[in-house]
Chain A
Amino acid sequence: MCLVELKGSPKPVASCAWGVRDCRPGPHGEPPEVLTKSAMVRKAREGVMEFLLINHPLDCPICDQGGECDLQDQAMAYGVDSSRFKENKRAVEDKYVGVLVKTIMNRCIHCTRCVRFMTEVAGVPELGAIGRGEDTEITTYLEQAMTSELQGNVVDLCPVGALTSKPYAFAARPWELTKTESIDVMDAIGSAIRVDTRGREVMRILPRVNDEVNEEWISDKTRHVVDGLRTQRLDQPYIRENGRLHAASWRDAFGVIAAKVKQTQPRRMGAIVGDLAAVEEIFALKDLMTRLGVVNLDCRQDGAMLDPTWGRASYLFNASIAGIEQADALLLVGSNPRREAAVLNARIRKRWRTGALPIGLVGERSDLTYPYEYLGAGPQTLADVASGVHEFGARLREADRPLVIVGMAALARPDGVAIAALAARAAQGTGKEAGWNGYSVLHTAAARVGALDLGFVPGPEGRNAAAMAAPGALDLVVLLGADEIDIAPGAFVVYIGTHGDAGAHRADVILPGAAYPEKSGIYVNTEGRVQMAGRASFPPGEAREDWAILRALSDVLGRKLAYDSLTQLRQALFKAHPHLQRVGQLAPAGRAEVAALAARDGAFEKTAFGRSLDDFYLTNPVARASATMAECSVIAERRGALTAAE
């Protein structure tokens, strides 16, 4: 379909395969002329279109791609009104390629984009074209399920309806959907997404192009978590009485909390922020807690040793995601980017494909889709690399743009500070590139960087998350969507969240909040990029936006927050933290802060780095409520067991 007319050429040429320098100049040396809309071009494209449609079924009315189909669009532009093809059309058996991608192989036009994506971008060469000519068929090896975390993207890539989304099959038509541009919270990358809603139901999530962050891909968790937004939802407040939760009104729930707060000293109260919270509600929560005199605040459920007082550069992915493509040596420390940030892993792979990138890994071995040098399992190896004793350390030191990616498995342990210092030392490189800062922390929680920016960490003599969760530490804990931490029995737990997950089971009072597509919020991604998510839908039932819950609660507690609308809240937020207004921008890298971090000393233990995520598909309450994610998780687990058996 890319045929164009080249002046002087008797035949149309394929513009996708024709360089400008191959164009012939005119007889008197005029610059070459390319016609894209001439009669010849039109006729040629009509011819190609006719061939494409020879074997393509006319099932647009029952095709999920209908309305957003490249072939349909092309047929509208270049199709002829009737077919001259009187022979039988080809019929192809549908293939099983996993639980996320549905195949209707009659529709395939053999463009092999899916094969190339899986091989080149996802790095998991599982799709292939078997047979030849008319009998070419796209399939996985013996119809096994695909294993890539990026496989959902082949649905977007497919120009026709041959690969469509299985969970979304026959669910909606594109023209019925309201499209809202938003930001993903499934990992700390902050991929640009488009949330498609029909009525108040989120029907699907698609990627938006953002070359700085996710290019045009999103992970399967980002895309297929939507059914988790419908199930297990908390749609009204609950109060625990005699060990059982009972539905209650907002007034009663607030009353119970107010009574409890009145009995409790501020030193015996605390608040923990979960992984999906937006900056606004963290700000409101911190505001409320400060007004109550509470210093036990924490946003690091996993116990990561990150401290905002060391400067922003100490907890950011300083090299920036796009900057990965400039790196000339890469060290992964306790990080599995394929699980923790699948899209970022594709970026590393993109860099690796261009060649000459030494990659070293300290931590748990796993298949990252590109080869790497396995250096060792624990901090001792990292110390050797940082001091240059290890051969790989020398390579980092000689690199102009060394990149050291530090994962949560390395930081979320008691000796995390010493490890961060070692990693910062390893990231120094030659220092020739003035703008380069290779010390990069790869977060796993979307809320983490925003919360650290706001300083949601223990105040003077405050307790951290682990200490708050300990038995007898506190009398009252507010969990803002924190489900990955076990609060020991004894404390009164107020849970503000969206799903009936671990936090809600532990809670004494449940205040139903809004999930990420149901509120407008600011999220700061792992590289420190401030991004604003749009509201696509509304919280179910009685549930409200989290900041509004906190505002209403503050009134009942007699510590009224000074904002009545989201706009006012943001004004206060921007006044306190001006950098949060710079949406989409990156602050320059703070090399001095990283140098200060590198100068820190500390003893480290010998234990090997573990893994920060056990199951890619079930990392947060929304994903745990999703049947699709559960299915993916079971398949991945079964496959893991099979590989282990071999």
Chain B
Amino acid sequence: MAVRRLADPAVQPKSFTFTVENLDWAKGEIAKYPEGRQSSAIIALLWRAQEQAGGWLPQKAIEHAADLLGMPKIRALEVATFYTMFNLAPVGRAHVQLCGTTPCVLRGADKLIKLCHDRIGEPLEVTSDGKLSWIEVECLGACVNAPVAQINYDYYEDLTPETFSEILDDLAAGKPVKPGPQVARQLSAPSGGPTTLTDPALYSRGNGGKPQGSALHDAEAKKPGEPANVRDAATPKPPADDASAKRRP
């Protein structure tokens, strides 16, 4: 963690406005909150702004979000600087968030960190071709597949310096890469295949049923797809009665 400041004015775009599509989405997001509490939508809006701006938050995007919510700009800046997943400066097309917490380091994340230093440069420094940037982050919650890195929206697990280096090369070259475990392993199941529940008979349904295979196969373990946060959340319930009503004349 270090002091987080907005990017240099030289790289800041002159203006920022949500696309029509994003603006509609933002309005829906704002409508989830009761009258007078619209500023609660700030994180959602900043996140969408970051996606639209290419993985980072320009100053104008923060101001745009604040204006949409009718809140002081300093409040939006407080939020943007508080959460480290809001990038305040441009990042590479593939932004690597490498886990550096204990389980990952025990499984060799320190070597990956060194590799990032050598291959990409300093944390949050973008390569000259604009393809890669990296940062060390705290626990990504995938310790069972340590070491793990999150690249844009996908997890890349069970990394070794070799596989990680290959992934970085492929990303830099624009080739497709396979997210998920980088070893022969189905999700976080034991590597080398299941060690329990291996008897197919266990899967037969009823008395005369045919034995079935396991539900998933390694090949279909994880596919690149839409980022998880794009789908809309379940329709929220109307807010319960709160104190906001009596605050207004």
A-side residues, CB < 8 A to B, are: 92, 125-135, 137, 139-142, 355-359
Contact = CB atoms under 8 A, between A and B. Distances in A.
B4 A358 contact: no
B249 A133 contact: no
Contacts of A139: 74
Nearest to A137: B3
A358 B82 contact: no
Contacts of A127: 74
Nearest to B63: A141
Contacts of A358: 249
B240 to A, nearest CB: 19
B15 to A, nearest CB: 14
B72 interface: yes
B220 to A, nearest CB: 40
Contacts of B1: 132-135
Interface of B: 1-4, 6, 59, 72-75, 77-78, 81-82, 246-249
Given A130-B77, A141-B72, A356 B249 contact: yes
Contacts of B77: 128, 130, 141-142
Contacts of B4: 130-131, 135
A125 B82 contact: no
Nearest to B2: A135
Q: Which 8 A-B pairs have the closest CB atoms?
A: A128-B74, A130-B81, A141-B74, A125-B72, A358-B249, A141-B73, A128-B78, A355-B247
A140 B73 CA distance: 9
B248 A131 contact: no
Given A131-B81, A132-B82, A126 B246 contact: no
A131 B3 contact: yes
A126 B248 contact: no
Chain A contact residues: over half helix, strand or loop, or mixed? mixed
B81 A125 contact: no
A643 to B, nearest CB: 14
Given A131-B3, A359-B249, 18 more contacts: A92-B3, A126-B72, A126-B74, A127-B74, A128-B72, A128-B75, A128-B77, A130-B81, A131-B4, A132-B1, A134-B1, A135-B4, A137-B3, A142-B59, A355-B247, A355-B248, A356-B246, A356-B248
Contact of B78 (A92, A130, A134, A355): A130
B67 to A, nearest CB: 12
A176 B248 CA distance: 49
B74 A131 contact: no
A137 B74 CA distance: 12
Contacts of A141: 72-74, 77
A140 B74 contact: yes
Contact of A135 (B3, B73, B78, B247): B3
Contacts of A134: 1
Nearest to B247: A355
A343 B6 CA distance: 35
10 contacts: A125-B75, A126-B74, A128-B78, A131-B81, A132-B1, A141-B72, A141-B73, A141-B74, A355-B247, A358-B249
A137 B82 CA distance: 11
Contacts of A130: 4, 74, 77-78, 81-82
Nearest to A93: B3
A135 B72 CA distance: 21
A435 B56 CA distance: 61
Contacts of B246: 355-356
Contacts of A125: 72, 74-75
B147 to A, nearest CB: 25
Contacts of B73: 141
Nearest to B66: A141
Nearest to A329: B249
B249 A131 contact: no
B158 to A, nearest CB: 32
B176 to A, nearest CB: 37
A644 B1 CA distance: 40
A358 B74 CA distance: 28
A92 B2 CA distance: 11
A125 B81 CA distance: 17
A129 B75 CA distance: 9
Nearest to B248: A355
Nearest to A131: B81
A294 to B, nearest CB: 51
Contacts of B248: 355-356
A113 B4 CA distance: 22
